[in-house]
Structure 1
Amino acid sequence: MSSDPRAAPSTPARDSLAARMPRPSAPLQRRVLWISLLAIVLGLAAAVVARALTMLIGLITNLAFYGRVDTSFVSPAGNHLGLWVIVVPVIGGLIVGAMARYGSRAIRGHGIPEAMEQVLLNESRIAPRVTWLKPVSSAIAIGTGGPFGAEGPIIATGGALGSLIGQLLHVTADERKTLLAAGAAGGMAAVFAAPFAAVFMAIELLLFERRARSLIPVTLAAISATGLRFVLEGSTPMFPMPGIATQGLAALATCAVLGLVVGLVSIGVTRATYVVEDLFEKLPLHWMWWPALGGIAVGVVGFFAPLTLGVGYANIAAIVTGTLGVTTLLALCVLKFASWAIALGSGTSGGTLAPLFTIGGALGGLLGLAAAHWLPWLHLDPRIAAVVGMAALFAGSSRALLTSVVFAFETTQQPHVLLPLLAGCITAYLLSGLLMRTTIMTEKLARRGLRVPADYSADDLDQMLVRDACSREVVSLRAEQTIAELRAWLHEGGAPARHQGYPVLDTHAHLLGVLTRRDLLDVQAPASATLDTLIHRAPLLVREDHSLREAADHMVAADVGRLVVVDADDPQRVLGMLTRGDILAAHGRRMRAAQRMSRHIDLRWRR
């Protein structure tokens, strides 16, 4: 018996027909076990890479700003170089520019858009040399004062490692995409000890789907990376905060308004970064030299505001604990943005998450302090405002809503921030979606003519059945008819013009096969030959209870434009025909019904 509960009882004749049925869809296949095992290995490898990269950044930072050999992850802000601090980022920019020109141009940028491009255009294939060029170039850029986060390069490196494994092994393009996303998620989880946010990041920015076959491996990669991170660095939260009290209704409403303000800022931040990039494009210099020019801006800003140099994870921790004053918050908000936007626009190598969290957190902290001073009756904790600002800026800039909310929760481990986070991030997301077509992750891709999926919805064709779309008016032929009879019938106009294929039935009205007009008119056979002698291939069938998605995939796989619809209990009994036009017509009816409802609601709304 078949494992498909809808299949008919097995007989030799019916098995030959069932072999031409659409392949039964299943949520999971056994290969997911193999991909999951690879994902676990990738997660562990990403954690090791994350640890190695932070040590390399620490080594370069210590050498460049303190003249010592040490791999400790330190901030460049405590340096005593004076004006020489301007030179250090320039040297880093020169090295990165040379690596990009003579190594791989793919190391430029913050990594996630580049990974998205490979997923959408190149079947998730990333050049193997990027696996080591990206982390090394990013370590140099960040270690010499670049205002970037280490998480972007680690995410990109994890993704490149997953892509490399997918290219070395015999896997499908979808499985390679899953491995790329698993490596990226493992990298993010290893940096921030935020496995849930890493999984959401993979779904919202890399996978462009939420299916069990990809969700399971990616989740296992995030879990394994986080577990090894706990072993290597401990389980303390990335940005620890003192206990936060539950916020009242007024404070929640204020967080929603705060999200609107930050959402508006996120639009400005996104557009400003690409304006800077466009200005660099107009320079009469080869792009190899641009990172060095960006390094000048980084060094000058770093001279006046040393806290803007480097990744700034300590700055984020200080922001969310409320230990920074107004002047410092203002400097981080404005000057960190200026330094980061110019450096990013120059095409150097580095991440965007930490800078956005710093800028958004500082802005939220400022607005929270203002609300506490001028509107004390709101009872808004400035620390919660800082956390909301941090997450809302990323939500508005990237429109990775769930990633933003869960990330802020996991890195602070404060359960009472979840509701304010939802309030602030959803309004930032709303405003960004209404006023900005692209995001900081997709603008570059859109300029290259690439359409990036943004919304994931159920497949309409998967929800419609063949019985609701097929034609029941079937013109069938008898097996004992001769070619001469059929040709005369066709020339006399006996066959409907819309019919191109005809089921051939035996004396018991059982299906033998399908013949097309071309089969009947072009065949080189005696005119006295009967139709059953012309059938040389098994018919392509579909049952009434198959979905239109299964039927459409069956047509594409077989390169045909029609299927014979048969009874679920008797696959030799013909019930109808399904053509490509029938599928499009059914889809069109669903779309028109939705449009009519939308217009009706719109008219009522206007009244």
Structure 2
Amino acid sequence: MTIKHIRNRQLSDFSTDKRVLFVIAIALPVAIAAMCAGLLLLQLIRLCTNLAYFGQFSFAELRLEDASLGLWAVGIPVIGSLLIGLIARYGSEKIRGHGIPEAIEAILLGRSRLDAKVAVLKPLSSAIAIGTGGPFGAEGPIIMTGGAIGSLIAQALPVSDNERKTLLVAGAAAGMTTVFGTPIAAIMLAVELLLFEWSPRSFIPVVVAATVAQLGRSLLGMGEPLFPFDGAMLTTLAGFAGWIAIGIAAGLLSGLLTQLVYACEDGFQRLPIHWMWWPMIGGLVVGIGGLIDPRALGVGYENISAMLDGQMLGVAAITLLVVKAVIWSVALGSGTSGGVLAPLLIMGGAMGAALGGFLPDASPGFWALLAMAAMMGGTMRAPLTATFFAVELTGNVQALLPLIVACVTAHAMTVLLMKRSILTEKIARRGHHIVREYRVDPFELTHVRDVMTSDVISVPAAMTLHGAVRFLTSPQTRHPSFPVVDQQGNVLGIVDPPSVLAWRRAGRHRNQSLGELLQGARITLAYPDEYLAGLVDKLVHANVAHLPVVSRTDGSLIGYIGWKDLMRVRQRLATETHERATLMGPKRRRTARQ
């Protein structure tokens, strides 16, 4: 067996090792803690709702539409927003917003470190916001809270940054599963939004955490779908066109709502008052919206049930859509605390219910379901998460194909219409651009022999230090460094201006040969059959810009490679990405200069 075959056999598809078992073991208590936090959040929301609107210290599920406070109801969201502003200013500013962008920012920029304040204040502030009428969902806050729990547990243990990230996301997935009973969607959310990688070392612990949370729900008697729905329609050409139409409409509405949210945020930024007071203004708008349509307040799960049952159509659906969109955009733009997922479902469902009369016949609530998922998939740019979320929420596997068509269509619309999503726009406004496209690193596929310089100019080991100085400073010399070889062709090292300067400073004699100067020196070599990913590590570890490439069989010099050769690989990938195929062959995309 050749050396090449041995090396290829040692390489594997994944870099995951047995360390993942340790991370899985930690993911178990993380999932249990996140599940408890999710259940606590749901109870806090009910308690705050009942205290604010009914004056009862109760955990019963009472509907906001049944509250009879009249004009006094306008002040309830204002008071709740004041409390949130105080918590944000004197507790932790990270509770502001809907949670997912903050989790992404912590993962990518904060080494997946979240403090204990977030784990405590985020669910408390969200419960106050939603309980006092805020038109938000509980998913964003529980993702942030579950993530904070995972991060805190990880910070107390000897784990790497990547393992801490995995445990943060595992807590977030467990929290989302606890609230909605959607473990598959929680896993897909981790893959599409939070992990920023696709590898067993992170994927397996997240799956374990989501599964444990779902098992806990089942043991607590919460295993049934949150919104059971068995409606369907025949797969026809007209029906297929309807699925696409819903996706297009959802994509357009997603773009409009995203722009509206950040237009409101820009408006608040211009106010001559401290940001602590902004949520009160948003709360006033929420209170007025509640007078127009009380169904727009709170999480509004009963609205989702009504849409799926076909009980909300026409004017009622349009009114709910408009009021919910306005108060949600203003409140979210004011920097209060609350999630976006449930509002997106409600607004998308209202749009689907309103458009259902113009689309092919289907079961009552079917078009509302498609629009809910498409709205979520388009706005969050997570079509797989949205598809599985709708399936698990309803327990309706028959709707899988229509759901994926509508979600992918909405996703395509928002990708083509907007540079960033509602989640990444906030991070971009803080000065950080995020690319959400996963590709195989070209360094993992390219061998050294594919990019090395084969026509190598070397210098003999017998050359003196004085001769090396004259050679390197000669106008005819085109490169800054050269491999030094002995009479047998073996590479002894590299001569370049820094090494020459170091020798001169060390008092080496000008007539000493390079072979003598390099005697006993450690040299890093590259081989033609190794991948550039490993070569990069060698360059960094040796702190050099170039490496000689030698044969594995006899050690003879066959090439030379440096950082410029690596950059050409990146440049080639960019060129291939922007080439357009034509009937007769490849054609490059014309640039503005052309």
Q: Normalization by structure 2: what TM-score?
A: 0.91
- Within the candidate set 280, 283, 296, 2:268 is matched to 280
Q: Report the CA distance between 1:359 and its aligned residue.
A: 0.5
- SS of 2:225's equivalent in the other structure is coil
1: CA distance between counterparts of 2:116 and 2:91?
11
**Partner SS for 2:549:** strand
3-state SS in 2 of match to 1:514: strand
Q: Which moved more, 1:71-80 or 1:384-393?
A: 71-80
The answer to whether 1:429 aligns with 2:411 is yes
Alpha carbons 1:4, 1:24 under 8 Å: kept: no
Amino acid at match of 1:133: L
Task: Classify the secondary structure of the residue corresponding to 2:159.
Answer: coil
1:502 corresponds in structure 2 to 483
Deviation string 1:51-82 (CA, Å, 9 cap, x unpaired) is 11111111111222222222234432222222
User: Is residue 256 of structure 1 aligned with residue 238 of structure 2?
Assistant: no
Q: Report the 3-state secondary structure (helix = DSSP H, G, I; strand = E; otherwise coil) of the residue aligned with 1:541.
A: coil
Give the structure 2 partner of residue 591 of structure 1. Answer: 574
Task: Mark the CA change 1:23 to 1:361 in structure 2 (over 3 Å): closer, same or farther.
Answer: same
CA distance, structure 1, for counterparts of residue 212 and residue 62 of structure 2: 27
Contact kept in structure 1, 2:4 and 2:529, CA below 8 Å: no
- 2:214 matches 1:232: no
Residue 2 of structure 1, CA deviation: 14
C-alpha separation in 2, matches of 1:568 and 1:317:
68
Is 1:133 the counterpart of 2:114 in the alignment? no
22-31 vs 234-243, greater mean Cα deviation: 22-31
Paired AA for residue 547 in structure 1: Y
After TM superposition, list the pairs within 5 Å mapping 1:196-345 onto structure 2.
196-345=184-333
1:412 aligns with 2:400: no
Q: Does structure 1 conserve the Cα–Cα contact (< 8 Å) formed by 2:232 and 2:362?
A: no
Following the alignment from structure 2 to structure 1, what is the Cα–Cα distance between the partners of residues 2 and 23? 27
Structure-to-structure mapping, 1:571-590, within 5 angstroms: 572-590=555-573
| Aligned AA (2:482) | G
| Aligned CA-pair RMSD | 2.8
Q: Aligned residue for 1:374?
A: none
Check conservation: 2:579, 2:589, Cα contact below 8 A: no
Q: Please say which of residues 443-452 and 528-537 is displaced more in the overlay.
A: 528-537
CA, structure 1 residues 135+491, in 2 after alignment: closer, same or farther (shift >3 Å)?
A: closer
- Give the aligned residue type for 2:549: V
Residues 344/569 of structure 1: CA separation in 2 closer, same or farther (3 Å cut)? same
Is the Cα–Cα contact under 8 Å of residues 16 and 199 in structure 2 kept in the other structure? no
Aligned-residue offset at 1:27? 2.1
CA deviations on 1:10-32 (whole Å, 9 max, x unpaired) are: xxxxxxxxxxxx99995213322
CA contact (8 A) 2:481 2:494 kept: no
Other structure's SS at 2:365 match: helix
Q: State the alpha-carbon separation in 1 of the partners of residues 256 and 472 from structure 2.
A: 67
Aligned mates of 1:23, 1:532 — CA distance in 2: 36
Which of 351, 355, 358 pairs up with 2:343? 355
Counterpart of 2:135? Answer: 147
1:421-500 maps to which residues of 2 (within 5 A)? 421-479=403-461, 482-484=464-466, 486-487=468-469, 490=472, 496-500=477-481
Q: Any idea what SS the aligned residue of 2:547 has?
A: strand
What is the letter of the counterpart of residue 376 of structure 2?
F
Instruction: Note if 1:163 corresponds to 2:151.
Output: yes
Alignment-derived partner of residue 68 in structure 1: 56
The Cα of 1:551 is off from its aligned counterpart by 1.5
Q: In structure 2, do the counterparts of structure 1 residues 78 and 491 end up closer, same or farther at CA, with 3 Å as the change threshold? A: closer
Give the deviation of 1:484 after TM superposition. Answer: 5.0
SS of residue matched to 2:250: helix
2:68 aligned residue (58, 69, 80): 80
Match of 1:375 in 2: none
Answer whether contact 1:75 1:310 (CA < 8 A) is retained: no
Are residue 398 (structure 1) and residue 380 (structure 2) matched?
Answer: yes
2 CA distance for matches of 1:65 and 1:298?
A: 14
Q: Distance in 2 between matches of 1:322 and 1:32?
A: 47
What residue identity is the alignment partner of 1:516?
Answer: D
Where does residue 499 of structure 2 map in the other structure? 519
- Offset at residue 248 of structure 1 (A): 2.4
Aligned to 1:189: 177
TM superposition shift of 1:95: 0.8
Q: Distance in 2 between matches of 1:349 and 1:106?
A: 9
Q: Is the Cα–Cα contact under 8 Å of residues 485 and 493 in structure 2 kept in the other structure?
A: yes
The one-letter code matched in structure 2 to 1:545 is D
Helix, strand or coil: the match of 1:201? Answer: helix
Deviations 1:360-396 (A, max 9, x none): 011111111333xxxxxx3333422111100111122
- Please tell me the residue identity of whatever aligns with 1:518: P
Change (3 A) 1:557 1:190: farther
Q: For structure 1, which segment, 546-555 or 305-314, has the greater mean C-alpha deviation from structure 2 after superposition? A: 546-555
Q: Distance in 2 between matches of 1:339 and 1:204?
A: 28
Amino acid at match of 2:118: V
Please tell me whether residue 346 in structure 1 is matched to residue 352 in structure 2: no
Say which of 17, 20, 43 aligns to 1:55: 43
* 2: CA distance, partners of 1:604 / 1:257: 31
CA distance 1:166–1:4, shift in 2 (3 Å): farther
Paired residues of 1:152 and 1:353 also in contact (CA < 8 A): yes
Higher relative contact order (CA 8 A, sep 6+): 1
Deviations 1:475-511 (A, max 9, x none): 34455555455456556678x4315031444x54344
Per mean C-alpha deviation after superposition, the further-off stretch among 105-114 and 361-370 is: 361-370
SS in 1 for 2:526: strand
Change (3 A) 1:118 1:420: same
Question: What is the CA deviation profile of residues 109-135 of structure 1, one whole-angstrom value per residue up to 9, with x for unaligned ones?
Answer: 101111222223222222331111111
3-state SS of the aligned residue for 2:235? coil
Give 1:284 deviation, angstroms.
2.7
**2:104 corresponds to which residue?**
116
Q: Quick one: distance in 2 between partners of 1:171 and 1:45?
A: 19
Match of 2:535 in 1: 551
Q: Deviations over 1:508-545 (max 9, x none)?
A: 43444334343245412234544344335422222212
SS of 1:542 mapped into structure 2: coil
Residue in structure 2 matching 1:35, options 23, 30, 47: 23
What secondary structure, in the 3-state scheme, does the structure 2 residue paired with 1:208 have? coil
Q: 1:215–1:3: structure 2 CA closer, same or farther, 3 Å change rule?
A: farther
- 1:295 is displaced (CA, Å) by 1.6
Sequence identity, in percent?
A: 41
Deviation, 1:473, is 2.3
Query: Equivalent residue of 1:147, what SS?
Result: coil
Q: How has the CA–CA distance of structure 1 residues 244 and 594 changed in structure 2, closer, same or farther, with 3 Å as cutoff? A: closer
Which shifted more, 473-482 or 296-305? Answer: 473-482
What's the CA shift string for 1:549-574, capped at 9, x where partnerless?
A: 2222332343221122233445x333
CA distance in 2, matches of 1:66, 1:593: 63
Judged with a 3 Å threshold, the aligned counterparts in structure 2 of structure 1 residues 484 and 294 are, in CA distance, closer, same or farther, namely closer
Number of residue pairs matched by the alignment: 583
Aligned mates of 2:588, 2:22 — CA distance in 1: 53
Distance 2:275 2:340 in 1: 20
Task: Return the letter of the residue paired with 1:431.
Answer: M
Contact 2:116 2:152 in 1 (8 A): yes
Among 352, 358, 382, the residue aligned to 1:364? 352
CA separation in 2, counterparts of 1:458 and 1:155?
Answer: 28
User: What is residue 380 of structure 1 aligned with on the other side?
Assistant: 362
Partner residue of 2:551 out of 558, 564, 567 = 567
Contact 2:31–2:174 (8 Å) recurs in 1: yes
Cα separation, partners in 2 of 1:503 and 1:479, compared to 1, 3 Å: closer
Answer whether contact 2:229 2:396 (CA < 8 A) is retained: yes
